[in-house]
Amino acid sequence: MNAIVAVDRNWAIGNKGQLLVSIPNDHKMFRKETLDKVIVYGRKTLETFPLAQPLDKRTNIIVSANPDYKVKGALVVHSIPELLEELKQYDTDDVYIIGGASIYRQMLPYCNTVHVTKIDYAYEADVYFPNLDMDPEWEITAGSDEQTYFDIAYEFVRYDRKKPV
């Protein structure tokens, strides 16, 4: 299983229900990586999407504790055990955890690869991704050259779990 995330210098991922910054190349990489795959995310993440609609050309699975929550064009599950059961029908290499913080935290133990857009800036933030640089279970296995979007420097980094789950 994969996770895909954009983080700042402090591994922050959001503030007040929004992404920290919008970088077109990050969106392009996200789309290329997740197209025709399974994406898993929470209700609050859905609300950050254009028109709060599931992403097209992907299997959307939303995790919500609300038993009455329904979303056209997506499957809604109500717990992590229910999610894990649902995911058994898919190749784990095709599954991407895309947020938010609570879903990342609960699903990271099941992931072997994390695609990180590392942004060289410290934003005001209220939600964070676990710092993989400080976690001995993870190692960097690939990275891009530094890129810039206006005055924002960033790079794409791939982390793999040293001992796959």
Which pair of tokens denotes residue 152?
């924002």
pLDDT of residue 63: 98
CB 63 within 8 A of CB 77: yes
Is residue 71 very low, low, confident or very high in pLDDT (cuts 50, 70, 90)? very high
pLDDT of residue 50: 87
With a pLDDT cut of 70, the percent of the chain lying above it is 100
Question: What confidence tens digit (pLDDT) does each residue in 121-155 have?
Answer: 999 999 999 999 999 999 999 999 999 999 999 99
Average pLDDT, whole number, for the chain? Answer: 97
Question: What confidence tens digit (pLDDT) does each residue in 39-69 have?
Answer: 999 999 998 898 999 999 999 999 999 999 9
Q: What does each C-alpha distance from 21 to 14, 18, 75, 113, 115 come to in angstroms? A: 9, 9, 28, 23, 17
- Taking residues 85-107, report their average pLDDT: 97
28-32 long-range contacts, CB within 8 A, separation 24+: 29/115, 29/117, 29/156, 30/4, 30/98
Residue-range domains of the chain with CATH: 1-7+21-114+149-155 (3.40.430.10)
